[in-house]
Amino acid sequence: MTHMNRLTDAVRHALVAVPNVSALAKEAGVSQSLLARIRSGDRQATPAVAAKIAAALTRWGETYTRAASRIRQATPRRTR
């Protein structure tokens, strides 16, 4: 599995876990449609978008810290 596939899988897993994707999009500063396309498999997550999502999940607190960690672990080192 490539780094981008692992990253996208980690982001998709996080998107499934959140109760409100539009609130996450707003918190992360990305569009809701982008998150919907990533979740549906139409787009891959970029390291920049993944970092924004991970940061937003971390700000949301302990419940989402595990998902944020999973995204960070899947991010290629040179883009962290």
pTM of this prediction? 0.79
pLDDT number for residue 80: 46
pLDDT number for residue 2: 73
Mean pLDDT of 52-76: 86
Q: Quote the DSSP letter at residue 29.
A: T
**Domain residues for 21?**
3-79
pLDDT tens readout for residues 10-51:
999 999 989 899 999 999 999 999 999 999 999 999 999 999
47, 76 contact by CB (below 8 A): yes
CATH number of the domain residue 54 falls in? 1.10.260
pLDDT number for residue 49: 96
Q: How many domains does the chain have?
A: 1
The pLDDT of residue 70 is above 90: no
